[in-house]
A and B are shown apart, each in its own frame.
Chain A
Amino acid sequence: MACLITRRWSDVQLRSAGSARRIPVAKTPKAYVGGEFIRSESGRVFPVYQPEDGGNGERVLLANIPQCTRKDVRNAVEAAAKAGPQWAGRTPYHRGQIIYRLAEMLESRSAEMAGAIASSGGGTCDAAAVEVSLSVDRLVYYAGWADKYEQILGNTNPVAGPFFNFTVAEPMGVVGVIADDASPLLALISQVAPIIVSGNTAVTLASETLPYPAILLGEMLATSDLPGGVVNILTGLKAELIATFATHTHIRGVDAIILSEHRKELALGAAESVKRLRVRPQEDAPHWSDESTQSVYDIRAFVEFKTTWHPIGA
């Protein structure tokens, strides 16, 4: 496939490079936490392979992905909590601009991202290119909501008394995202964008089977205007980390696409801190390319409603 990113290092390439042989420089994939690129504190990695073999029947390594631990999750929560007040304190107009800028970043590097998706085995080059365009459009969609959702979700309330009473939607704080395994970019963005647009910060566990596009997304976030810590992207194994997402008290909500067998574990842990959950089964995951998966009500899923009363009088 034409769009594939170069293999990490390739005999084929070396042989065909003629006299001006150049050894390609490989990239060590890193998670993205607090605006910095980190390896897992554990030093563990798990390999992911390219969809096509090397011509000799052997699998070709795409990357060694950090296998993050619960300590990495806790560090990411700390980074997200630190970034939260400032992010929530930006004007909605400003948050909208920053998310729009992120769309610009992704659009301008769409070929590279499509390559990362296809090279991970996330579909053909054409399909990957479509996934990237849809992801850009989704970011633009939510960027536009930043200074509008409040007028849809909030209210002034006509109470029976001399009071001015109004309800506003507020960010909850740190929200965990356990991303769909399929559609490694589009699902991640569809889950994260409605969470951060309202001023939440996100701790994200990327697709377990196709993590590489999320690694690349982290690199794009780092060059966008999104402040460090607003979106943190971890890679690793869901089965290992669900418990930490569930029980960490500072994570106020979790949006998870997980296997049905993991649901109970997540809900049991969430009960300990009365955590808000939005769980959709991996077996019947949303069709992310469908426009029904984007809505102002996805923003509503992770806001708190605050009602303020004040007397009307002299």
Chain B
Amino acid sequence: MHTRRAPLRAKKKSAAAHVPELIFGDLWEFDPAPETADPRLRDQYDLFIGGTFVPPRSGRYFETVNPATEKVIASVALAGPDDVDAAFAAAQKAFEGPWRKMPGKERGKYIYRIARLIQERAREFAVVETMDGGKPIKESRDFDVPMAAAHFFYHAGWADKIEYALPGCRVEPLGPVGQVIPWNFPLLMLAWKIAPALAMGNTIVLKPAETTPLTALKLGELLREAELPHGVVNFVTGAGDTGAAVMGHPAAKKIAFTGSTEVGKIIMRQTAGTDKKMTMELGGKAANIVFDDAPIDQAVEGVVNGIFFNQGHVCCAGSRLLVQESIAELFVEKLKRRIDVLRVGNPLDKNTDVGAINSRMQLEKIEELVESGVAQGATIYQPSCRLPGRGFFYRPTIFTAVTQSHRIACEEIFGPVLSVLTFRTLEEAVEKANNTAFGLSAGVWTDKGSRILKMSTLLKAGVVWANTFNKFDPSSPFGGYKESGFGREGGRHGLLDYAKVV
């Protein structure tokens, strides 16, 4: 399955030979530089309901695996409908009890506490995130965990200022909310979901992804340290059935989901005809558009970051490169040189650029789509880097000669696979970029300010990065157009999605 060792490459030798090849990657070995902080993990985790860890009613547990080693890390409780009921009962009780009545400034202090506790134990959380999900330690250490803390810190400050969130109106919390998050940024997505909901005064039942439940459960421990009132936040672990129970629960006044468009539609059907408010943060197929006047080396870095960050497990990943025809050949050569020196391997190694694919299932999905790309006639390039003998790994992959009808240009691959298309005019770039059912993000690379603003206006996407990519901030609203979902997370806009106007 995932044991393919030989890189897939097209036979044809490129004409753009003037790009010097960086060969030092082959000249010497890097010494291993593993992160060794103690993850402080337990062998078994129960459900976090009503402020304590309780075993599942069914008595069933499932195992969570380190995708880089395929070894079991811990066993985790499988929540059934009874457990989800109990979690919502706890959330309802907490909402009617202490949480709704608490003045905003006091509520905010709890959220500040959570931010601080995450910062204090940041390294430990980063290690667990990397072990459980496969992402490089430098990303979990420098991005996921600090950004999660930042989200709590930012939203904590809103708790006593919510009257400014919607000028001219009075807003109130909704009540218990149900949230389901994905496996690509487990702790960060949790923070995106929980922090604004708490700031507005809601209570929460959240289900982490089944392959990455550990940082949520560790956060449960941390919430106990923060002495958050019992039942304000509840974590139920499990797979799709548990998620469906959370999304469909009658007590959930609002549901928020981050995941695939396919599952988002299932949830919308499941809850059709109910009064539940919804936020949907779904898939994407972002275009990263490079004009011929762009600063090329910066753009190459941006494109590489856009698709290979977190192994491409990013809903807003720049998975389609649209490059202007006049520079396409040079640009692609530079891209190939750049990915030749990406270090793929042990996620806990501080030098690793591309870590492990999150699960065997995801790896198989990536392989299937890449095979379709080859079969449909696109030209594949993969570097010859060595992959570890165990675990789920995939080479950074670039497809050229891609047409808009290829599956690799339409479907979300959610892996380290870039499809390169070209364009001649701005209008053509816009048309190709918007020619998708998704609309989450887009990138524009050009030296011309007026062109950036024009592109930003014309692109049907919720986030546009100009001369940068994959930037996030708690104060910056994030969310999609079209089938990438609705509602925003971050900033005043995200906060309002957890409020009702009265």
Contacts and interface: CB of A to CB of B under 8 A. Distances in A.
A267 B476 contact: no
B466 A159 contact: no
Contacts of A276: 486
Contact of B464 (A152, A252, A296, A306): A306
Contacts of B463: 306-309
Contact of B268 (A157, A271, A297, A304): A271
Contact of A165 (B169, B268, B282, B476): B476
Contacts of B70: none
A267 B462 CA distance: 23
B478 A307 contact: yes
Interface residues of B, number: 45
A297 B466 CA distance: 29
B273 interface: yes
State the majority secondary structure of interface residues on A.
mixed
A171 B501 CA distance: 22
Interface string B453-467: 000110001111111
Interface in A261-314: 263-264, 266-268, 270-274, 276, 295-297, 304-311
Contacts of B477: 155, 157, 167, 305, 307
B275 to A, nearest CB: 9
Interface residues of A, number: 35
Contacts of B485: 274
A311 B468 contact: yes
A25 B456 CA distance: 54
Contact of A309 (B269, B464, B479, B501): B464
Contacts of A9: none
B492 interface: yes
B109 interface: no
A161 interface: yes
A157 B475 contact: yes
B69 interface: no
Contacts of A158: 475
Contacts of B169: 295, 297
A1 interface: no
A163 B461 contact: no
Q: Which 6 A-B pairs have the closest CB atoms?
A: A264-B273, A267-B272, A271-B268, A159-B473, A274-B483, A310-B466
Interface of A: 152, 155, 157-161, 163, 165, 167, 170, 172, 252, 263-264, 266-268, 270-274, 276, 295-297, 304-311
7 contacts: A155-B491, A165-B473, A167-B476, A167-B477, A267-B273, A274-B484, A309-B476
